[in-house]
Chain A
Amino acid sequence: MVLVYAESPKGKFKKSAFEAVTYGHKTAQVLGTQCVALTLGDAENAGQLGQYGASKVVSVGDAALNSFDSQVHAAVIANAAAAVGASVVVISHSSSGKALIGRLAARMDAGSVSAAKAVPTNDGAFKVKTNVFSGKAIAEYQINSDNKVISLMGNAIQPEVTGGDVAVEALTVEVPASRVTIKEVKTVEGTVPLPEAELVVSAGRGMKGPENWGIIEELATTLGATTACSRPVADTGWRPHHEHVGQTGVAVSPNLYIAAGISGAIQHLAGVNSSKIIVVINKDPEAPFFKAADYGVVGDLFEVVPRLNQALKDYNANN
């Protein structure tokens, strides 16, 4: 049995939860077994997880699980896996998932793969691919233990509707007390976090100063994209650190990554080369980023970006 933990922050699933259930369903098919989805705390309309391939949904509704503590959540997920007889656990590679994967692997004494980018194969050996060297290479891990824990990279696969809603069963397992007291949660509403973003608009030193970011934000708004930046821009305080994409920042895997005024240092490329399509806008035709780009525009970003924004608005108006 494959157990998928479907995160429901503030009681609602995000796309990453549907990706995880789709991944768990496909993993179960590879193993010739079934996929069960698990929700913790509040989870509105949990039965919809059946649409993505869960044969049933089990729910531990304890309100204590509405705030995240890796120690508590890992214990409950492992207890739930034991209760439903699952040896394989799939989670999202979200900030919660990154805190959980190690705990779960240690607790279940399981072989684990972090930030998987493809559905496992099982031709005599169970293998899963993930990015290593910050995206400069791909490793295929072989898991030799019966217990397996996998976290799924955001946007690595798309949710697939294969069926309808399923029943939600309440599950009672031991929920240990948390030893962490959360005092404050500060989140920016209305934007998709970078690791999950399908569309990203990023800018670098070519912007000349933080006061010029309006055109980048306008382009991001038109596209419904998340904004990002290069390391020098974050280091000088032009933009917040959580926007820094690259080897020592965030790794992104969007469908579309638009880079304006970023030369494309190897450390930046490491963070973006899981992007499906890369558009580079730079006035220097020798900028190394063009070698990693699908589409390139050699020109002044202060003219090109507003022009692209207008072209997208025209496109949106006609479609």
Chain B
Amino acid sequence: MKLLVCVSKTPETTAKISFSGDNTQFNEAGVNFIMNPYDEWYALVRALELKEKAGGSVTIINVGPKANDTVIRKGLAIGADNAVRIDAAPKSSLFVAKQIAAHAKAEGYDMVFLGKETIDYNGSEVGGMVAELLDQPYVSFATGMEVNGTTATVTREIEGGEEVADIDTPFVLSASKGLAEQRIPNMRGIMMAKRKPLKVVPAIDAVDLAVIAGYELPPAKSAVKLIDPENMDELVRLLHEEAKVI
């Protein structure tokens, strides 16, 4: 089975978020970057499990500059066989999706995996875009998947519950919590990763149709109003009369 896992580089979850250049740029100074947790913990690991069971290969793809190679190497250390980096500084989700789809179309993967969202831009868009550009079905927010031949039985999150569906390859799947368990790369994996192929290819032409014009931080909260723990009637009164939420 030929599998592709799309990985993104994101600030770590505890990163302090600030902006520069008149609030038009994310300020990367002092920020540690990681592989997007949904891509690493769930999408990549589930793909590796499938390969270990049924054979085949796992390729990692990232759209980004050379600085992203550390994240790609981590994916190789966890167990992917090879990697492709589309050399670009992406500004929009559709640009990224067009790069991934062009590669996937040329290579013909059985499944394309990615996390349900990145923890920086939170758009949940790229998976659907890649699926549409490849004219393939899309399983979003998968929490479970079993594969039997060329048919997968997938469980996905829906409003207030879940849905179980059968789907034939090829397809695109976005991974949510529960699909797999995080794997920590071992020393052997880290050593081997240095020798695994990482191909750098130029980006195809694509226009950014939606770009970020500026950022702002959420308005600061005014100081907390402390309520006497013995007097919950007062809290209810404030929620009704002052906050007007009940």
Contacts and interface: CB of A to CB of B under 8 A. Distances in A.
Interface of A: 9, 68-71, 74, 94-96, 98-107, 109-115, 125, 127, 131-145, 179-188, 191-193, 195-196, 199, 223, 241-242, 244, 247-249, 251, 255-256, 266-267, 270, 273, 276-277, 279-280, 290-300, 303-304, 307-308, 310-312, 314-315
A299 B240 contact: no
Contacts of B159: 9, 94-96, 187, 193, 195-196
Nearest to B212: A139
Contact of B163 (A94, A184, A241, A311): A184
A270 B160 CA distance: 21
Which one of A105, A185, A290 has the highest number of Cβ atoms from chain B below 10 Å of its Cβ? A105
Given A133-B17, A248-B38, A141 B210 contact: yes
Interface residues of B, number: 78
A191 B97 CA distance: 35
B211 to A, nearest CB: 6
Interface of B: 11, 13-14, 17, 19, 37-38, 92-94, 97, 116, 119-133, 136-141, 143, 153, 157-168, 177-178, 208-218, 221-222, 224-227, 229-230, 232-233, 235-236, 238-240, 243, 245-246
B52 to A, nearest CB: 25
Given A181-B165, A279-B235, A70 B128 contact: yes
Given A114-B124, A134-B13, 4 more contacts: A132-B212, A142-B213, A184-B164, A187-B159
B140 A132 contact: no
Contacts of A179: 137, 167-168
B221 A292 contact: yes
A310 B210 contact: no
A270 B168 CA distance: 37
A146 to B, nearest CB: 10
A114 B17 contact: no
Contacts of B229: 297-300, 303-304, 307
